[in-house]
Structure 1
Amino acid sequence: MAATGNKSVLFVCLGNICRSPIAEAVFRKMATDTGVVDQWVIDSGATSDWNTGSLPDTRGLACLRKYGIETSHKARQVTKDDFMSFEYILCMDESNLSDLKRKANSVKNCRAKIELLGSYDPQNQLIIKDPYYGSDEDFEKVYEQCLRCCKAFLEKNS
């Protein structure tokens, strides 16, 4: 899945069942709607291996469906190859960021820019909090943050 000549982005959170699959699905729809999806390799992953193979959280799926977005993503852990093949790795919080930077240090040809997705938020909400132990409103908030950040990220990279 190397991104040759394409733009590429990997969205990352702790378990890859709440925040990152929402960001991935939102960005994919945005790229599709603006006619640039063919220029991108878009994926998401986890810093942990807890949920490998699992579908996204049902509350996240329900939230996406409400906005006409579908995803069939299955959780996976970030691999060493990801650091070499993706141009951007955008994560959700400081803990993801430090995990990813630590992993990147053990990769010889790391080319990925590792950043907080929230660094693109026009409302300056830097951290996208994990909604797992929260309510439907928390998933809604994640969706809205992802929408704002993905839009700004896409505009910067188009």
Structure 2
Amino acid sequence: MAASSGKSVLFVCLGNICRSPIAEAVFRKMATDSGVVDKWLIDSAATSDWNTGSSPDSRGLACLRKHAIETDHRARQVTKDDFMTFDFILCMDESNLRDLKKKANSVKNCNAKIELLGTYDPEKQLIIKDPYYGSEEDFETVYEQCVRCCKAFLESNS
């Protein structure tokens, strides 16, 4: 997971078992396919501690596998160090954004740019809705949004 030349991104959602691990896996595959994965530190985390240590939701894993993407991510909560380590902290909705900005205020040397991943969506879908209580279709929608956003984010940071 070590980055050799200093670009870093942390994807964040509420529990780190649905949206953020999908975004992390999608971005990692794009960076790998573009030959730049060694230039990036890529991870994901949660605003809550509910699922710490858990694998991503089985529906999210199935969605990723359908698109030939694997992940071995385990859920973790955002730490104060993340605000000093990562260049970008990209989250999924306004609640995540509020929680992250509140936490960032307690960090002296916050270097991270904290924003919604959806700000990069060419289709202007600002919010990536939590699919947890939804269907496989909802996970597919999250995947498609993550693909669009991650592609634009990678292009703007290459």
TM-score band, normalised by shorter chain:
over 0.9
**Number of equivalenced pairs:** 158
CA apart distance, 1:85? 0.5
SS in 2 for 1:43: strand
The residue that corresponds to 2:25 in the other structure is: 25
**Correspondence 1:84-95 to 2 at 5 A:** 84-95=84-95
Write the distance in 1 (CA, Å) between the matches of 2:84 and 2:55.
Answer: 26
Give yes or no for contact 2:4–2:39 (8 Å, CA) kept in 1.
no
The answer to whether structure 1 residue 81 and structure 2 residue 89 are counterparts is no
The residue that corresponds to 2:153 in the other structure is: 153
**Correspondence 1:14-93 to 2 at 5 A:** 14-93=14-93
Closer/same/farther in 2, CA of residues 134 and 147 from structure 1, 3 Å limit: same
Give yes or no for contact 2:91–2:116 (8 Å, CA) kept in 1.
yes
Letter of the 2:124 counterpart: N
Write the distance in 2 (CA, Å) between the matches of 1:76 and 1:51.
Answer: 7
Gaps of 5+ in 2: none
Closer/same/farther in 2, CA of residues 80 and 2 from structure 1, 3 Å limit: farther
Write the distance in 2 (CA, Å) between the matches of 1:6 and 1:76.
Answer: 22
Aligned-pair identity in percent equals 84
Give yes or no for contact 1:2–1:85 (8 Å, CA) kept in 2.
no
The alignment yields a C-alpha RMSD, in angstroms, of: 1.2
The answer to whether structure 1 residue 128 and structure 2 residue 128 are counterparts is yes
Cα deviation, 1:53-74, whole Å, max 9, x if unaligned, reads 0000000000000000000000
Q: TM-score, normalised by structure 2?
A: 0.98
Cα deviation, 1:83-123, whole Å, max 9, x if unaligned, reads 00000000000000000000000000000000000000000
Closer/same/farther in 2, CA of residues 74 and 127 from structure 1, 3 Å limit: same
Write the distance in 1 (CA, Å) between the matches of 2:19 and 2:156.
Answer: 21
Letter of the 2:137 counterpart: E
Write the distance in 1 (CA, Å) between the matches of 2:104 and 2:3.
Answer: 18
